[in-house]
Amino acid sequence: MKVPKVTSIILVILLSLTFLNFMLKYYTYFVLMVSSTKKQQELQDAQGQLSPDTGSQLAQETGEIPHPHELFVPLLTFIPTKSPVLSRPWVLVTSSFIEENFFELFISLLLIFYLSRYLETIWGSKELSKFVIINVIVSNVTIYVYYNLKKLAFGELTNDNLPPVILSSMSINMGFIIAIKQRIANHYLIFFKGNLRIKVNYLPFLTIVFTWILSLLSEEFLVLYVMSIVGFIVSWTYLRFFKSGANERQSYLLPFALTHNKKKNRFRPIANIGSSSTDFPIENDSVRGDRSEQFALYTFFPYPVSLIVKFVSNRVFLFLVKHKFLNPHDFTLDEGSDEDNDNGQELFEDVDNLKNNLFGVSSLKGAGEVSTIPKSIWDWLIPGKDQRHNSIKTSMDKRRKLALKELE
């Protein structure tokens, strides 16, 4: 089973830095033990009361020598608000390729081996490398800035709310899970001979919930929870708005690029859409990221949480469109996905039922259209289906006209 180049490099770096971190921590622990034993021997010679073994055990119990898991390597990892990150900027990268224990290392190796290999085959080595580097650096910088702003706002942090040691590949793993959701959103993971099915759509949400539960059980897993949230936000934002190359579900709307020659006109392949088996020439620089409805933020959450997320994200989207940060015509609805359309229709039907059941003033026929909340307010809170489909249809018509014009 051949492993692609970038995936192999990630696996080797993860294993190497994790092993190096382990060796340095236990080396420091050994040095502290030797130093403490010498001090105890000096006390023994002076007082003649303690044995060397009793002295070392007493030093551990009194907290003079911390447990190896309580130590951290400042040259590889960092603690926000405590570590001099500006003088050691490389820790923003190395800290994401280190795992604390064998269980986390095993899970990370498994996810990277399968998911990264799949994505590298589709995206290519260059695009996968860019995705991992951006995800790692932006996630760690975000965590570092967040805790420093928290320190400025609330003063010096106490021992109860100190930031965790940042060392985990969770941001990378979460990025790969988000990317897999983008590719095969409607697939299921089947366990126990089909008795348990998990939709790929909800894997990121389940991962965040799982790490949150672990963080409640032990503070050691707090860093997993923090990095899973930050990794989710960074990965989705990059894939949604910034990743170069159009999404396959949108590419049939984009015009061909023609190269005019004196002798003849011919199609010029600009770039492939991330797949080695696709030779379809598409100009994919016009739209960055996956702007399809299937990759919208609310699709990551199960019902009814998705309704709340959709309401909030729609308000943010309209604000960004109003201030011309986003172009609404770049966002399309998946015509080929009947399941997504059905889900969207069911979503609006649920909203209509909510309006009629909670705010209807009478059970008489025709009173379902009556509401204590004016229609204008409902239209502002939840955009109507007609408005949504008309905007998408207009965008698709413009793209098709542009494609026909180029072909002529």
Per-residue pLDDT for 185 more than 70? Answer: yes
Confidence of residue 335 (pLDDT cuts 50, 70, 90): very low
pLDDT the model gives residue 142: 93
Highest mean pLDDT, choosing among 2-16, 35-49, 178-192, 235-249: 2-16
Reported as type and span, the H/E element at residue 383 is none
pLDDT digits (tens, 9 = 90+) for 189-210: 777 777 778 888 889 999 999 9
Per-residue pLDDT for 357 more than 60? Answer: no
Q: Which fold has domain 5-43+66-248?
A: Rhomboid-like fold (1.20.1540)
Task: Note the pTM of the prediction, 2 decimals.
Answer: 0.69
- Judge contact between 255 and 295, C-beta under 8 A: no
The ranges assigned to domains in the chain are 5-43+66-248, 301-332
Q: Stretch 128-151: mean pLDDT, rounded?
A: 92
pLDDT the model gives residue 253: 41
What single string gives the DSSP state of each residue in 262-330?
A: SS-EEE---B--S-TT----B--SSS-B--BGGGSGGGGS-TTHHHHHHHHHHHHHHHHHHTTSS-GGG
> Can the peptide bond before residue 383 be classed as cis, meaning omega within 30 degrees of 0?
no
* Cα dihedral 207, 210, 215, 216 sign: positive
pLDDT digits (tens, 9 = 90+) for 88-103: 999 999 999 999 889 8
What Cα–Cα distance (Å) separates residue 64 from each residue in 40, 249, 387, 389? 12, 60, 67, 67
pLDDT the model gives residue 113: 92
Per-residue pLDDT for 341 more than 50? Answer: no
pLDDT digits (tens, 9 = 90+) for 56-85: 554 554 446 777 777 888 899 998 888 888
Confidence of residue 339 (pLDDT cuts 50, 70, 90): very low
Per-residue pLDDT for 361 more than 60? Answer: no
pLDDT digits (tens, 9 = 90+) for 8-59: 999 999 999 999 999 998 888 888 888 877 777 777 666 655 455 554 554 5
pLDDT the model gives residue 338: 44
pLDDT digits (tens, 9 = 90+) for 271-282: 444 444 444 444
Tokens of 283: 């100009």
The span from the CA of 15 to the CA of 319, in Å, is: 45
- Judge contact between 43 and 55, C-beta under 8 A: yes
The span from the CA of 71 to the CA of 26, in Å, is: 9
Average pLDDT, the chain: 75
